[in-house]
Amino acid sequence: MTETHIDAPPNTETEPRGDLCIRTLAMPADTNANGDIFGGWLLSQMDIGGGVFASKIAKSRTVTVAIEAMNFRKAVYVGDLVSVYANLVRVGRTSMTVHLEAWVVRRKELQSILVTDGNFTYVSIDDNGRPQPVKAFSSEVETGSR
């Protein structure tokens, strides 16, 4: 299987990298028993943003098949503005790996803070839910020109 690797620059943790995919406000209904934003809620926001990005790259429906290397760096609090950014890491024949970063801006602050990042793998699917070649790169991958 031929894959296309795209090198992403190392994260300096001072500013977001990649395409902004989603922005939302952390609300009280999204908290865990400690009153902090539930990690599962944040993970789902990242998956939504990554899915939007992956579908744009694949020019088709995509499904999440793996989540790896998740780093929960800092807590997210009620009232934080959460933004998810995406970078394309790898493109295979039917799949792609996307590095996602979740950044927050806390109330009364201007500086963005990296709170979570990880790699999500998505597969391009057809209308019947079967894997299909990633359209954006399929001719380049099949011919080996990329």
The predicted-structure confidence for 15-43, as pLDDT tens digits, reads as follows 899 999 999 999 999 999 888 899 999 99
Q: Are 137 and 4 in contact (CB under 8 A)?
A: yes
Comparing 33 with 105, which gets the higher pLDDT?
Answer: 105
Would you say residue 123 has pLDDT above 90? yes
Closest CA to 103 of 117, 83, 119, 120: 83
Task: Give the chain's mean pLDDT.
Answer: 88
Residue with tokens 């943790």: 13
The pLDDT value recorded for residue 138 is 52
Characterize the bridge pairing of strands 112-125 and 95-105: antiparallel
Comparing 96 with 35, which gets the higher pLDDT?
Answer: 96
Would you say residue 6 has pLDDT above 80? no
**Does an H or E element contain 56, and which?**
helix 39-58
pLDDT band at 119 (very low <50, low <70, confident <90, very high): very high
Comparing 108 with 65, which gets the higher pLDDT?
Answer: 65
Domains of the chain, start order: 19-136 (3.10.129.10)
Q: What's the pTM?
A: 0.83
